[in-house]
Amino acid sequence: MKHRILVVSSANIDFVQRMARLPRQGETVLEDATCKYVAGGKGSNSVVTFARLGADAVFCAKVGRDENGARLKRLYAEEGIDTRFVFEDSAAPTGLASILVEEEDGANRIIVYPGANSTLTDENIEEAFTCYPDGVFVQLEIPEQAVLAAARFAREKEIPLFVDAGPVRPGFSLEGIGRAEILSPNETECAALTGIYPDSVENCLKAAIRLAGMVETKYVVLKLGGRGSFVYDGKYYHLVPAHKVQAVDTTAAGDVFTAALSYAYLQKGDILEAARFATYAAAVSVTREGAVPSVPTLQQVKDFAAEIREGGR
């Protein structure tokens, strides 16, 4: 079945530089390696993931009335994403992210200038809900009031809500979200939200219990990077290991993971199968450069999974 997913989140253009090493304080580093402008933003990365996996993807976001905004809207349309609710702000520019990627392990450092993302209103979101979604996916790279509005509309209409808790926002209290199907932070988000760094099974469990106390959620899924993910259903937990790949760029891997997790969960309702599927999708993403350009198609995820099963990696 083709589910309609409404993604309420952010859209950015990423300025990406690959570095042999990061500059120290006060240091200027000349890097000839690569420097690119690519489509990104946590929302773009997620909505493109849903589309490439085969969902009926609808995007609710705000871009500027500028060349970057036009470029992003063209890209979404090419991906088959419903762009009726990608609104334009005439005053604020399209969001921008400055990303440094380390050559050695693909690790990144990101600074976001939210621009038009900050102007997404409750009215914009209410309008987007007229698409009659089967699932709503939200991230925290938009104003707190917009996250809460999306959660409220989903609750009122009894539509499953998927919450990717990134990026962590100082002062943002998850409690306002109320209810969710899946709540999924990464390690740093988990630590910021709970005060517990999920570096051991015991700490993962403690943090997951604390998160489940903040939001009435069916599942907490902690994204643990190269260690995999920790799935907690309120009673039992499972560790889903990651696959060893040569990491080129980890940007967007977390967005791909949570979107693929939500997609697969909506398809079959099996959280562990969904986590395994999402682990494959995220692994393909880290072997590629860039945010949106790194998002795999359904066939690419299946091919990678088959390779792993046959022991080719």
What's phi and psi for 40, nearest 5 deg?
-160, -150
* 3 state SS of 41: coil
* 3 state SS of 97: strand
Q: In this complex, which beta carbon is closest to ligand RIB, that of residue 159 or of residue 295?
A: 295
Positions in the binding site for ligand RIB (CB under 6 A):
10, 12, 14, 40-42, 45, 97, 110, 112, 141, 251-252, 254-255, 291
Distance CA 261, CA 284 (A): 14
Name the residue with the smallest CB distance to ligand RIB: 40
What's phi and psi for 118, nearest 5 deg?
-75, -10
Measured from the CB of residue 169, what is the shortest distance to ligand RIB in angstroms?
Answer: 13
Q: In this complex, which beta carbon is closest to ligand RIB, that of residue 63 or of residue 159?
A: 63
Measured from the CB of residue 233, what is the shortest distance to ligand RIB in angstroms?
Answer: 26
**Edge-to-edge strand ranges of the sheet holding 12-19:** 35-40, 12-19, 95-102, 108-113
Q: In this complex, which beta carbon is closest to ligand RIB, that of residue 252 or of residue 259?
A: 252
Q: In this complex, which beta carbon is closest to ligand RIB, that of residue 48 or of residue 159?
A: 48
Measured from the CB of residue 256, what is the shortest distance to ligand RIB in angstroms?
Answer: 9
Measured from the CB of residue 295, what is the shortest distance to ligand RIB in angstroms?
Answer: 11
* Residue in 89, 255, 270, 303 annotated catalytic: 255
Q: In this complex, which beta carbon is closest to ligand RIB, that of residue 95 or of residue 129?
A: 95
Cβ neighbours of residue 230 closer than 8 Å, sequence gap 6 or more: 198, 201, 204, 205, 208, 220, 221, 222, 224, 237, 238, 239, 240
For this structure, is 255 an active site residue?
A: yes
**Edge-to-edge strand ranges of the sheet holding 56-64:** 82-89, 56-64, 4-8, 135-139, 161-164, 179-184, 216-223, 229-232, 237-240
Measured from the CB of residue 67, what is the shortest distance to ligand RIB in angstroms?
Answer: 17
Instruction: Compute how many other C-beta atoms are within 10 angstroms of the C-beta atom of residue 18.
Output: 19
Enzyme catalytic residues: 255
